[in-house]
Amino acid sequence: MKQEQNLREEIELLSERVDDLLEANDLLRRKNAALLAQCEKLQSERSRLFNTREEARQRVSEMVQRLRSMERSV
């Protein structure tokens, strides 16, 4: 009888532990999905900023070329 009670208590504890682990797993899955979405958003932003920087660099380079041309013609 005592052994049965101990076994039931152990099963109940294991069941609670499994429930806790399932909840932790669910939380980690949601956090992982949020982090992946954030990472994708940041990569997109990084790409956009890179393109903006390259466009600005190109414009500055063109302005420098025009200024040099103007200096030569003066």
CA gap 31, 13 in Å, rounded: 27
CA gap 44, 74 in Å, rounded: 45
Q: What's the pLDDT at 74?
A: 74
Would you say the pTM of this structure is higher than 0.75? Answer: no
pLDDT grade for 11, boundaries at 50, 70 and 90 = very high
Question: At residue 30, does pLDDT exceed 80?
Answer: yes
Q: Quick one: how many helices (H) and strands (E) in the chain?
A: 1, 0
Residue-level length of the chain: 74
How far is it between the farthest Cα atoms of the chain? 108
